[in-house]
């Protein structure tokens, strides 16, 4: 069993009923956030896809509070470690095993830096293939459409794909529907839409594009969960 909760934007919580994983946990300042960073009794692991603020979010504070390691592209992990977080080092192509899940880091076509007054390099952006609760999930991270998604679909056969549909900074609904077609999961959960005015405001056109395909769109509102 894997229960996936959408916390808004690209922020997701996974639990198998015993262990707790957060991905890109942006709560503070997230206009679509449901929940707060310290709402949890327990967090066991945090996965980060890249160093942009809307993904790094509250990860460092959450790591400190729960003694939860952050797995991230190497330079981003070091960035977090310098700020007091515990980290699990890895990089693209690598797979880490934890006692309740595995996470394989895969490519994403995007950019990555912690942008403040300047921009601090935080490695290359990534996605993850996550196995937890007997399910396999392809979490693409912020990305454009790219051809190797087809390879991930063929090699990994994920049941669930979580992908951005908002456009402007990532794939929009049409490219996202093509990405789903290449990976062919049973379920596709859209993310990275509706948070800002500039992004696609609903998942309707994405869901419509999947009608008649072998994949069911599971559009979650912030705060909603789905159990697989």
The residue among 54 and 131 lying less far from Mn ion, judged by its C-beta, is 54
Minimum distance from residue 26 beta carbon to Mn ion (Å):
9
Return d(Cα 226, Cα 133) in angstroms, integer. Answer: 13
> Which residues of this protein are in contact with Mn ion, per CB under 5 A?
54, 142
DSSP 147: T
> In the range 130-169, which residues lie near Ni ion by CB under 5 A?
142
Q: Which does 13 bind (CB under 5 to 8 A by kind): Mn ion, Ni ion, none?
A: none
Minimum distance from CB of 24 to Mn ion (Å)? 8
Smallest distance, Å, CB 220 to Mn ion? Answer: 17
For the chain, list the strands marked E by DSSP. Answer: 3-6, 12-15, 20-23, 45-47, 70-73, 87-90, 95-97, 101-107, 113-115, 119-121, 126-132, 135-139, 160-164, 187-191, 216-217, 225-227
Which positions from 37 through 56 interact with Ni ion, judged by CB under 5 A? 52
Q: Tell me which residue of 120, 80, 77, 74 sits closest to 93, measured CA to CA.
A: 74
Please say which residue, 54 or 200, places its beta carbon nearer to Mn ion: 54
- What is the smallest separation between the CB atom of 10 and Ni ion, expressed in angstroms? 8
Contact residues toward Ni ion (CB under 5 A) are: 52, 142
């Amino acid at each position: 069993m894997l229960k996936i909760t959408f916390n808004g934007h690209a922020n997701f919580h996974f639990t198998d009923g015993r262990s707790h994983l957060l991905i890109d946990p942006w709560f503070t300042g997230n206009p679509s956030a449901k929940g707060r960073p310290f709402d949890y009794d327990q967090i066991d692991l945090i996965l980060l896809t890249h160093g942009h603020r809307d993904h790094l979010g509250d990860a460092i504070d959450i790591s400190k509070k729960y003694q939860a390691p952050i797995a991230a592209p190497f330079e981003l992990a070091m960035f977090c470690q310098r700020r007091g977080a515990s980290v699990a080092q890895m990089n693209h192509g690598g797979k880490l095993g934890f006692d309740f899940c595995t996470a394989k880091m895969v490519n994403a076509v995007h950019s990555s830096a912690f942008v403040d007054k300047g921009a601090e390099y935080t490695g290359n952006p990534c996605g993850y293939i996550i196995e937890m609760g007997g399910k396999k999930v392809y979490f693409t991270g912020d990305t454009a459409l790219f051809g190797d998604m087809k390879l991930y679909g063929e090699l990994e056969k994920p049941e669930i794909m979580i992908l951005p549909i908002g456009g402007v900074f990532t794939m929009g609904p049409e490219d996202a529907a093509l990405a789903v077609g290449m990976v062919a999961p049973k379920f596709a959960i859209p993310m990275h839409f509706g948070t800002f005015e500039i992004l696609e405001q609903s998942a309707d056109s994405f869901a419509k594009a999947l009608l008649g395909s072998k994949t069911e769109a599971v559009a979650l509102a912030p705060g909603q969960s789905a159990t697989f």
